[in-house]
Structure 1
């Protein structure tokens, strides 16, 4: 009867509600954002591009030209002429180009946000994996201790000839396997810490708490999608590209207007001189040909591309949401079935009291451990899926 009671009780409870490690993860993500070398480099790139955009809207350099003509067959004095001029585009072009530059700066800001999100979602995945491994290590360390206790007991029984060599070898192999699992987990933890250190600009990342629980309710798919549409960096980048392209059309239309030049001219010979204002205007026949049409075609393409990408993202988002809901449902079934008692500990106590043979104990132990490991794996997978669904909140 006791055996069936133990068999009906499974594992421990990994999830409650809320995401207790969220604050810790957020602190680490903020640290990584500040220290990440890729993001720092991109910020410098953005600054350089913005300065270049502004420099492209400067006036051309003033021009000075002069003539002194002392040679030749002439009865009058030497001829002298000089001219100072400043050329410029039609005034409205500068206003349109300034708006275009601002739109391109918004493009850069959106691209940075997307790059930042890529770095942080990668880091968050590593942190979730790290928390999972730390939990797994804690569990496996306890299992290793139990396996050693079982082996020591079998060794005593073998020494008194109460069990055979086969039982002793099985107990020793089980203990060795548990040792290897712990060592393997420790190695994987070090690899993850190394990856996180790289993302953190070479600064070490301390281990995070293994105690994590999941915020079960994340909202409806439509509410999450509307939230994503408003703030997601990739979608914002598409909008910024459209806005910059639209402003480029306005700029090209303004550039059809003629360029102008103003200046001062002086001419002098044999004590006589002439001076006055110089003015010039360009005739826009060739330089602007097809540029407006090209800008309009690019804008049409970007609008179409935004629609295609948004539709594709929505389909992918729905698929992820459905996988999350299905896995969450299965997890809740596991949680309900397993209850909140420590079956492995109860089974171990039953074995130590002699209610199980070693083989019976080991077979049932694997069942409980497999169920426990499955639940822990589902916890990690749920957190990773949730991170993907909510990555626009980073």
Structure 2
């Protein structure tokens, strides 16, 4: 019995079967990605923004104007004129604006990837919490059974008048406390399942197979950081912002070129008429003033912002990685020590031999149980830190 508890705590590097085997955590995250209401809404927002961006590169509407002048001297007859024309910016402007819109689409895609990563990281954290609650439930359920057995044994000794009522009451209280712990964990499991259901767009979670393996190595900090630089959505979003600001400079430079207009014109009076092509040029002397300088200043800001945020993210990443390495070392020490112990069984034998009063036995028992709980908590914290370090792989 007690060996089973030690095995459940120390076997943290092996598969742990949870409340169902229908899905593993990766499949659960894929399901949440498909069903999450926030992500669906963000996708609709991105689509609307992309369509709006494309509309900014449309040609202006054609213009049709006409004159009919029947009043006045009219010695030569009524005067009629009409004109149809199409104005447009210099052709290279549309190409530059198209590239700018493409870079803005990359911005939107990177922003979505960042939002997706946040949602999936939150879901993974809840799933990990749920897995370890299930592991804890196995342990405390076994402890509850053990406490009941101890209480029954002390009840038998009490009936034989070999122990007093105080020891009996303490054993009963210990048993009741273990029952309460099981109930608390079951309640917390339902809370975490409810959170996952919300992230899953209100769809119930059928279950997941924890099957978590805690690897001995997650890679060097240098290799992981290089991975993040090329795949992390937050960093990719910064690059997309830079690219968009660079394309904005090119666009503003092209908008300095003149706008053009082409069309057809007809003029007629008393059977005599003239018709032909219409052409016009609009020189943007004032509308483009300071636009290029503003775009260049924004590009410099984006470059500086990328550098500052990247440096800050690396510092945070380094802190998390170092914290993980330190905790993993301590965890291995705990595992080595706890794996060779059978303390609860030895304590119970000592209690039966009369070497401990029930209170002394219970206090010693709590010491070893607290150590076991500490190790389980360290395992969970390691998994959460690992999820944070490897979130760019989501």
Matches within 5 A, 1:245-394: 245-339=245-339, 343-344=343-344, 347-348=347-348, 357-394=357-394
How far does residue 348 in structure 1 lie from its aligned partner after superposition? 4.7
If the length of structure 1 is used for normalisation, what is the TM-score? 0.93
Matches within 5 A, 1:141-160: 141-160=141-160
Question: Which structure is richer in relative contact order (CA contacts within 8 A, separation 6 or more)?
Answer: 1
What is the distance in 1 between the residues matched to 2:15 and 2:146?
32
- Do the aligned residues in 1 keep the contact of 2:88 with 2:260 (CA within 8 Å)? yes
Cross-structure match for 2:134: 134
SS in 1 for 2:196: helix
**Which string of whole-angstrom CA distances, capped at 9 and with x for unpartnered residues, describes residues 49-82 of structure 1?**
1111111101001000001111112212111000
How far does residue 294 in structure 1 lie from its aligned partner after superposition? 0.3
- Do the aligned residues in 1 keep the contact of 2:8 with 2:135 (CA within 8 Å)? no
What is the distance in 1 between the residues matched to 2:17 and 2:247?
46
Q: Cα distance 1:192–1:345, how it changes in 2: closer, same or farther (>3 A)?
A: farther
Q: Does 1:185 align with 2:200?
A: no
Unaligned runs of 5+ in 1: 1-5
Q: Cα distance 1:27–1:350, how it changes in 2: closer, same or farther (>3 A)?
A: farther
How far does residue 154 in structure 1 lie from its aligned partner after superposition? 1.5
Aligned length: 387
How far does residue 212 in structure 1 lie from its aligned partner after superposition? 3.2
How far does residue 208 in structure 1 lie from its aligned partner after superposition? 3.3
For residue 13 of structure 1, the aligned residue among 10, 13, 27 is 10
SS in 2 for 1:300: helix
What is the distance in 1 between the residues matched to 2:249 and 2:309?
23
What is the distance in 2 between the residues matched to 1:19 and 1:225?
30
What is the distance in 1 between the residues matched to 2:391 and 2:110?
15
Unaligned runs of 5+ in 2: none
CA RMSD in angstroms comes to 2.2
How far does residue 347 in structure 1 lie from its aligned partner after superposition? 4.5
Cross-structure match for 1:94: 94
Q: Cα distance 1:18–1:215, how it changes in 2: closer, same or farther (>3 A)?
A: farther
**Which string of whole-angstrom CA distances, capped at 9 and with x for unpartnered residues, describes residues 161-190 of structure 1?**
221111011001101111111111111111
Q: Runs ≥4 in structure 1, deviation > 2 angstroms?
A: 9-12, 14-21, 206-213, 340-361
How far does residue 108 in structure 1 lie from its aligned partner after superposition? 0.4
SS in 2 for 1:124: helix
